[in-house]
């Protein structure tokens, strides 16, 4: 009892070390963790503990019940009907009620049909449907699918045939569903949408020939598909569970709220940018229809021809509403010189993510998925800008260490999904990723207070060095000083 009281009531005036024959440098502090700490057999420790116990007993005299002066606890406030029933069962020494395993049974044919192959086939179909129901039964159905079409979910897509009806067993959580033509000329154009599956959601989409894409089916068709969904399970394609872990690593921080805020109002994302002419625009070279030039050769230059084209802007109905990065400090200049962009990062967090700063990493993942899977090039530019912004934010490493910790993890998984030649063809043209990661590693290495973050950065550095053969031991060429000669 007394050792426990030590942990609850440490003496206001601890026993002097000299009283136990110990000097100031030999003083030992006693706690109540004998299973964790060591050194209790050292000279003077036992005497110090006994002295503390004596001091405790002098100030708090032992009684039979030191809680006599307190009222009894009213436990009825914490009791529920289920709790009282369970306590009565325990008091009566009754066994627990057995779990009902009826729903887990897979019955075979009746006794009189054991030799009937048809009955066995029916039992097998029922068992398959029952097993499918035990797993995640969310899904999406497609109606009136045209020929030569590719349909995908998350990281898996393939051409479909006439027997394709939809996808079943979609796990709860966020997923990206998309489609495109199998025609080589237009196969790069994709259309898709995000959906957060929960409570066995069943989505139904129907091909609309007037707009040449899938749209949400009408209410009667949705009701019909949902009512027959269980019977249709054997004919549906299963979700590619082998890619689930990889997909989660790429989308873990994308919340349904973020999807709603960023994606267009109808939720549809298209890889082809939808443009509209600027309202009120008139060409400086407007000419009557009868006098319009028929060919490019009739113009003096390309610039002159371009002046006759209408000014265009992205259709607001199809725009992805990413956060706007403060351009008060030139981004291109910072990428070359490695200057600190923490001010811009903090302003972005305060403006869009003041309550949940880590949601900016969800936006980073959303942009990457839209680029990688949805083939949305504007999303690549935003992903590139966010990566650059975070990597060049030196002071923010100290104020937001967890953000950088997760940022490195996200970037690690994202780079693993991009083919090696992608950087050769696009990124390394201006050394974007090499110089950006060089800045990131340099910023983190300068702040020695967070060893865990430094270890993660070093591990990531080793990975990209081995995988892409990038050298971070030397400063990028564009960091070299510029010599200005007097003219």
Instruction: Look at residues 135, 139, 132 and name the one whose alpha carbon lies nearest to residue 195.
Output: 139
Q: Which of 26-35, 176-185, 292-301 is predicted with the least confidence, judged by mean pLDDT?
A: 26-35
Residue 102 confidence (pLDDT) above 80: no
Range from 31-45, 90-104, 170-184, 345-359 that averages highest in pLDDT: 345-359
pLDDT of residue 417: 86
Average pLDDT over residues 266-277: 81
Question: Is-above-0.75 flag for pTM?
Answer: no
Q: Tell me the average pLDDT across 174-198.
A: 83
Q: What pLDDT was estimated at residue 295?
A: 52
At residue 210 the predicted structure's pLDDT band, cuts being 50, 70 and 90, is confident
Q: Give pLDDT, residue 20.
A: 45
Which pLDDT does position 218 carry in this prediction?
A: 93
Q: Is 136 exposed, middle or buried (0-12, 13-18, 19+ CB in 10 A)?
A: middle
Rounded Cα gap, residues 271 and 44, in angstroms: 76
Using the predicted structure, report yes or no on whether residue 13 has a pLDDT greater than 50. no
Q: Which of these ranges, 207-211, 295-299, 306-310, 381-385, has the smallest mean pLDDT?
A: 295-299
Q: Residues 444-454: pLDDT tens digits?
A: 988 877 888 99
Give the pLDDT confidence score for residue 163 in this predicted structure: 85
Residues found in the chain:
487
315 touches 275 (CB < 8 A) = yes
pLDDT of residue 15: 46
The pLDDT assigned to 432 comes to: 76
Whether the pLDDT of residue 257 is over 90: the answer is yes
327, pLDDT greater than 70: no
Q: Which token pair is 172? A: 């709860």
**pLDDT tens-digit readout, 58-99:** 877 767 777 778 888 887 777 788 888 888 889 988 888 777
- Report the pLDDT value the prediction gives residue 284, as an integer from 0 to 100: 47
Tokens of 230: 């269980």
For residue 404, what pLDDT is reported? 93
Distance CA 199, CA 172 (A): 8
Helix extents (H) in 60-151:
81-91, 117-134
More confident residue, 316 or 150: 150
Q: What percentage of the chain exceeds 70 in pLDDT?
A: 73
| CA dist., res. 204 & res. 139, Å (int) | 9
Residue 204, pLDDT > 90, answer yes
DSSP states of 346-357 as a string?
A: HHHHHHH-SS-T
Q: Which two tokens stand for residue 38?
A: 């060591």
Query: What pLDDT band is residue 56 in, cutting at 50, 70 and 90?
Result: confident
Residues paired with 166 in a beta bridge: 141
Question: Within 13 Å of residue 329, how many CA atoms lie on the same side as its CB?
Answer: 18
Sheet strand arrangement including 173-181: 156-160, 149-153, 173-181, 191-197, 268-270
Rounded to the nearest integer, the mean pLDDT of the chain is 78
CA distances, 222 to each of 140, 208, 233 (Å):
10, 15, 16
Q: What is the pLDDT of residue 12?
A: 42
């Amino acid at each position: 009892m007394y050792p426990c009281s030590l942990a609850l009531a440490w003496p206001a005036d601890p026993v002097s070390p000299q009283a136990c024959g110990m000097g100031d440098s030999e003083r030992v502090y006693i706690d109540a963790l004998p299973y964790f700490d060591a050194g209790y057999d050292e000279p003077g420790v036992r005497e110090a503990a006994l002295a503390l116990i004596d001091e405790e007993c002098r100030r708090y005299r032992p009684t039979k019940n030191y809680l006599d002066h307190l009222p009894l606890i009213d436990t009825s406030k914490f009791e529920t009907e289920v709790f009282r029933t369970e306590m009565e069962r325990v008091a009566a020494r009754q066994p627990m009620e057995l779990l009902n395993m009826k729903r887990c049974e897979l019955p075979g044919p009746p006794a009189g049909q054991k030799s009937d192959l048809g009955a066995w086939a029916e039992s097998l179909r029922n068992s398959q449907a029952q097993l499918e129901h035990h797993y995640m039964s969310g899904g999406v159905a497609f109606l009136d699918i045209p020929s030569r079409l590719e349909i995908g979910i998350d990281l898996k897509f393939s051409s479909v045939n006439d027997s394709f009806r939809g996808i079943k067993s979609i796990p709860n959580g966020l997923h990206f569903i998309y489609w495109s033509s199998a025609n080589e000329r237009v196969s790069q154009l994709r259309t898709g949408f995000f959906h957060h599956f929960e409570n066995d959601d069943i989505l139904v989409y129907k091909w609309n020939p007037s707009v040449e894409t899938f749209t949400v089916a009408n209410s009667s068709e949705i009701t019909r598909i949902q009512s027959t969904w269980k019977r249709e399970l054997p004919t549906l394609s299963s979700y590619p569970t082998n890619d689930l872990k990889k997909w989660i690593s790429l989308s873990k921080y994308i919340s349904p709220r973020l999807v709603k805020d960023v994606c267009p109002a109808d939720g549809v994302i298209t890889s082809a940018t939808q443009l509209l002419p600027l309202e009120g625009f008139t060409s400086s070279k407007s000419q009557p229809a009868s006098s319009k030039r028929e060919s490019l050769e009739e113009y003096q230059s390309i610039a002159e021809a371009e002046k006759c084209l209408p000014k265009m802007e992205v259709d607001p109905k199809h725009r992805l509403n990413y956060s706007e990065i403060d351009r008060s400090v030139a981004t291109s200049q910072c990428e070359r010189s490695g200057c600190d962009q923490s001010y811009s990062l903090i302003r972005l967090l305060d403006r869009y993510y003041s309550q949940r700063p880590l949601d900016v990493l969800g936006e980073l993942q959303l942009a990457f998925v839209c680029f990688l899977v949805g083939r949305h090039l504007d999303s690549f530019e935003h992903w590139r800008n966010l990566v650059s912004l975070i990597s060049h934010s030196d002071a923010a490493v100290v104020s937001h260490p967890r953000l950088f910790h997760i940022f490195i993890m996200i970037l690690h998984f994202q780079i693993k999904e991009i083919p090696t030649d992608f950087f050769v063809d696009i990124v390394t043209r201006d050394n974007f990723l090499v110089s950006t990661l060089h800045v990131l590693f340099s910023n983190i290495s300068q702040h020695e207070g967070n060893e865990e973050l430094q270890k993660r950065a070093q591990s990531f550095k080793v990975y990209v060095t081995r995988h892409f053969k990038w050298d971070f031991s030397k400063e990028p060429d564009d960091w070299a000083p510029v010599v200005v000669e007097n003219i």
